[in-house]
Structure 1
Amino acid sequence: MTGGTSKTKVGALPETTAASPLVPVALTWLVWSLFAASVAALVGRLRLDGPWQVAGVLSVDGLTVLMWVVVTFFGGIVLSYSRRYMAGSSHETAFFLAAFGFTTLVMALVAADHVALFGLLWLAMGLTMATLIGTVSGWEQARAAASVARRYFLASSALLGVALTALWWTTGATTITGIAAAADGLGGPVWLVAAVALVLAAVIQSALVPFHGWLISSMTAPTPASALMHAGFVNAGGVLLLRFAPVVTVDATLMLAVVAVGAASALLGKLFKSVRPDVKSELGCSTVGQMGFMIMQAGLGFFGAAITHLILHGFYKAYQFLGAGGRVHRASPDGTSPAERGVDDAVVTIATGLAGGALFAALTGKGTSVDGGLLLVLFVVITTLHAARSAVQHASLPTAVRYGAVPAVFLPAIAVYALVYRAVSGVLSDLPVVAAPTELTALHGVVAAVFVGVYVAMELGVHERSGRLYVLLLNAGQPAPRTVLTDAEDYNEY
């Protein structure tokens, strides 16, 4: 070594208005126009009664217009961001076409009423997302990631096809609204096949454990595509369960199984996140856990809460992915460990969590009866505890200020969440089932006890003391080998 250093000169980022190809510009403005139209449709749907439909084909209800607003907003943000991110790439136009196509497919999906149309749009949505994952077609790892994702999405579509065919067979209805109207008579082996297939299709699409492999392997996707995936695509599982809520709520045992699956994924997603070394994979594992919470809420019968969760998670995760570059920094220990902060931290954290749960129950009325609402409030308490503990440990503020700031920040946030939940439930009020609280059983108590026990153990760092567990988690959260970049030169598409 000569001791000298060399610097690579990097030019200024291109301006989005300079020499932008026509297609990206036009599609970006078109998506924002769709957003404005969607907001108008939402207002109109709330003010005007009566069905908005093309009989037997399309049906525009509260869920439709709400998801139109959400998906076009995220689409507009992602495409605007991509004007600079993809500038100069040979794949720029193809990326914008695929991203715009994905947005319009989701808009059509949430309006589809005919089961065949719904199934085809579900398939097309998955294939388009696989295309976005493999945008850089000359990159071997990107092609492999797209192939992995495509296999999962085809499996999800096949399961949905089985479910829709079984429901048509047993009800004679060719529309989702027709199936919902006949749901009271569902039961028996054909219904069981349909219901289990629906749940599995939702679980795969939302990347719950053990089907999280496609999401962890998708890190080759351009960052804006990752934002669109984590803010929108994975949420399709919650939308599917709400659309077919009259089917899956027929049997309490199935709903309990949905809660258990969601709880396992919520815990494992958090554990996987703790061992990931890179920002995007860490965010991906976080999504696995958050989708577990969403599916849990659906399993408890609170579909409005699940939709609220997916919307708020979408905003958060889109922001996190689009700002992922800012999280890459060199860190060093500051000499302060959580254990040295004292008992007062635990008191403030626990008090804030309990107050948050009480506030949520007071504003929504959930948790005031002996039903699934109690567990919903419990999850709010746990979420508040986790956020408050993180803030108390890492906030660079004097002790007294920190202890006062934590409840002052988090309790209003819980109030906003509760009010958004009520507003979303109001928008969804024209759907057949928005809330069907499950009756609590001893098994619900077991699931809740195990969940809380494991969660507390993780918060205390018990899992960090086992080398064997660390290796197991690291292996279980690994992407498919063919999608892993081993040579930085492979990233150069030119």
Structure 2
Amino acid sequence: MVSIFPLITIFAPLLGTLLISLFWRDLGDRVARLGIAALWCSALTSLATLAVVLSGDTIQLALIGTPSGTMTYTVMVDRLAAVMMALISLVSLIIHVYSERYMVGDAGYVRFFALLGGLTFVLLSLVSSGNLFWLFVCWHLVTWLLATLLVCNPDSRAARDAGQKTFWVQSLGDAAFAVALLVLYGSYGTWDMTDLFARLQAAPALLTVWPGLQWECDVPLVVTLLLVLSVMTKSAQFPFHFWLIGTIEAPTPVSALMHAGIVNAGGFLVNRLAPLFGLAPTTLHLMFVIGGITALIGATAMLTQTSVKRRLVYSTMGQMGYMVMECGLGAFALGRS
């Protein structure tokens, strides 16, 4: 019975998006109310999910495929996922309510609420995924949806440039994530996180760089280095932080969702894959250095800005640097509990 709570949390925003897409001609400006109603359902059930998980065990459901299948779409809600789901749904609800009047008169009003609900669904699916393949699919969908939302005003050349820059920078990280998935599957034969972590602990594998050569690499090291590149692009780490600066052209609700949620995806990924990163201390040291440089640049640049939006951008950059530094120190208690 309790397993229905996370499903409503995840799929309510998707249902709202589908209804908006189908009936927007009849609804007109009332599409905002439909989106808000969907987020109320999502937010309330996310709190119920959090209460259930805190008082009991992890909720795990196989929705598509067999429970042990490689491509199975698995919902895995532990304490980390439950906390993230509550934060995402509550922040998105606030943004929906704020946007109802803020976006009035905008030519892309209906499109904005459809995309906002869709992005919320993808973020909730990302943090609750128990399979790395589906997590990657959601990871790339976030890139595409964020770039699309940034171009809410297609007549603005600055907005178009910001959307394109965001898409290509984050796509670079997505490509690294895809290569990491292939290496993991080639070495361990699974993308299911539970099985993967068990096999990692049993025997960390070695990767042969080229057949016939006596040169092997540590798989956890190679994979985590690739994933760090993906974290750097998604969480605006130096030297990939420049895409974040261009997002000041986005509407305020988009900026709020991005600064409050999307850029935190890198930290979530590291915490979710803590058993893997724990086997690669070199990667953790590198993350600490990258995070420190990013935090220093962000905090220093923020002090020189006169625009409130630009101060927010550099403040977010600095905070993301601190987050990556924390991950580099191996602070994975939340992710493992």
The TM-score, its normalising length taken from structure 2, stands at 0.82
Q: What secondary structure does 2:61 align onto?
A: strand
Distance across 1 between alignment mates of 2:123 and 2:58: 24
Match of 2:331 among 302, 305, 330: 302
2:233 corresponds to 1:197: no
Q: Deviations over 1:283-337 (max 9, x none)?
A: 1011111001011111111134xxxxxxxxxxxxxxxxxxxxxxxxxxxxxxxxx
Q: What secondary structure does 2:247 align onto?
A: coil
Distance across 2 between alignment mates of 1:267 and 1:187: 36
Distance across 2 between alignment mates of 1:186 and 1:287: 36
2:45 corresponds to 1:28: no
Give 1:79's aligned amino acid.
H
Q: What secondary structure does 2:238 align onto?
A: coil
Q: Does the aligned pair in 1 maintain the 2:39–2:92 contact within 8 Å?
A: yes
Q: Does the aligned pair in 2 maintain the 1:263–1:293 contact within 8 Å?
A: yes
Residue 43 of structure 1: aligned partner = 51
Q: Deviations over 1:158-181 (max 9, x none)?
A: 111111111111111121222222
Q: Does the aligned pair in 1 maintain the 2:58–2:77 contact within 8 Å?
A: no
Distance across 2 between alignment mates of 1:298 and 1:171: 24
Match of 1:152 among 169, 182, 202: 169
Q: Deviations over 1:31-50 (max 9, x none)?
A: 12100011011111222336
Give 1:110's aligned amino acid.
V
Percent identity over the alignment is: 32
Residue 379 of structure 1: aligned partner = none
Distance across 2 between alignment mates of 1:270 and 1:47: 39
2:257 corresponds to 1:218: no
Match of 1:268 among 280, 285, 297: 297
Match of 2:274 among 227, 232, 245: 245
Following superposition, the deviation at residue 256 of structure 1 comes to 1.3
Q: Does the aligned pair in 2 maintain the 1:57–1:175 contact within 8 Å?
A: no
Q: Deviations over 1:268-297 (max 9, x none)?
A: 111121222311111101111100101111
Give 1:158's aligned amino acid.
A
Segments of 5+ residues of structure 2 without an aligned counterpart are: 1-26, 207-216
Segments of 5+ residues of structure 1 without an aligned counterpart are: 1-18, 305-424, 435-494
Distance across 2 between alignment mates of 1:281 and 1:20: 34
Match of 2:100 among 83, 89, 93: 83
Give 1:141's aligned amino acid.
A
2:311 corresponds to 1:282: yes
Q: 1:285 to 1:46 in 2, by over 3 A?
A: same
Following superposition, the deviation at residue 114 of structure 1 comes to 2.2
Distance across 2 between alignment mates of 1:78 and 1:26: 14
Residue 152 of structure 2: aligned partner = 135
Q: Does the aligned pair in 1 maintain the 2:220–2:277 contact within 8 Å?
A: no
Residue 462 of structure 1: aligned partner = none
2:73 corresponds to 1:57: yes
Q: Does the aligned pair in 1 maintain the 2:58–2:79 contact within 8 Å?
A: no
Distance across 1 between alignment mates of 2:104 and 2:312: 25
Which has the larger Rg? 1
Following superposition, the deviation at residue 191 of structure 1 comes to 3.0
2:116 corresponds to 1:99: yes
Q: Does the aligned pair in 2 maintain the 1:208–1:292 contact within 8 Å?
A: yes
Q: Does the aligned pair in 1 maintain the 2:53–2:78 contact within 8 Å?
A: yes
Q: Does the aligned pair in 1 maintain the 2:221–2:282 contact within 8 Å?
A: no
Distance across 1 between alignment mates of 2:60 and 2:137: 22
Give 1:260's aligned amino acid.
V
Distance across 2 between alignment mates of 1:109 and 1:146: 21
Give 2:45's aligned amino acid.
A
Following superposition, the deviation at residue 74 of structure 1 comes to 0.5
Following superposition, the deviation at residue 140 of structure 1 comes to 1.5
Q: Does the aligned pair in 1 maintain the 2:150–2:159 contact within 8 Å?
A: yes
Q: Does the aligned pair in 2 maintain the 1:134–1:146 contact within 8 Å?
A: yes
2:188 corresponds to 1:171: yes
Following superposition, the deviation at residue 182 of structure 1 comes to 1.7
Residue 381 of structure 1: aligned partner = none
Distance across 1 between alignment mates of 2:300 and 2:152: 30
Q: What secondary structure does 2:128 align onto?
A: coil
Distance across 2 between alignment mates of 1:24 and 1:211: 34
- After superposition, the CA RMSD in angstroms is 1.6
Distance across 2 between alignment mates of 1:178 and 1:161: 19
Residue 227 of structure 1: aligned partner = 256
How many aligned residue pairs are there?
A: 290
Give 2:124's aligned amino acid.
M
Q: What secondary structure does 2:248 align onto?
A: coil
2:186 corresponds to 1:186: no
Distance across 1 between alignment mates of 2:101 and 2:260: 20
Following superposition, the deviation at residue 214 of structure 1 comes to 0.7
Q: What secondary structure does 2:306 align onto?
A: coil
Q: Does the aligned pair in 1 maintain the 2:220–2:279 contact within 8 Å?
A: no
Q: Does the aligned pair in 2 maintain the 1:206–1:234 contact within 8 Å?
A: yes
Q: What secondary structure does 2:190 align onto?
A: coil
The TM-score, its normalising length taken from structure 1, stands at 0.57
Residue 130 of structure 2: aligned partner = 113
Q: 1:273 to 1:232 in 2, by over 3 A?
A: same
Q: Which moved more, 1:291-300 or 1:19-28?
A: 19-28
Q: Deviations over 1:246-283 (max 9, x none)?
A: 11111322211111111111111111212223111111
2:91 corresponds to 1:74: yes
Q: Deviations over 1:352-379 (max 9, x none)?
A: xxxxxxxxxxxxxxxxxxxxxxxxxxxx
Distance across 2 between alignment mates of 1:208 and 1:49: 35
Q: Does the aligned pair in 2 maintain the 1:106–1:125 contact within 8 Å?
A: yes
Q: Does the aligned pair in 1 maintain the 2:28–2:110 contact within 8 Å?
A: no
Following superposition, the deviation at residue 231 of structure 1 comes to 0.2
Give 1:30's aligned amino acid.
A
Residue 321 of structure 2: aligned partner = 292
Following superposition, the deviation at residue 51 of structure 1 comes to 4.3
Following superposition, the deviation at residue 20 of structure 1 comes to 6.9
Q: What secondary structure does 2:153 align onto?
A: coil
Q: Does the aligned pair in 2 maintain the 1:168–1:174 contact within 8 Å?
A: yes
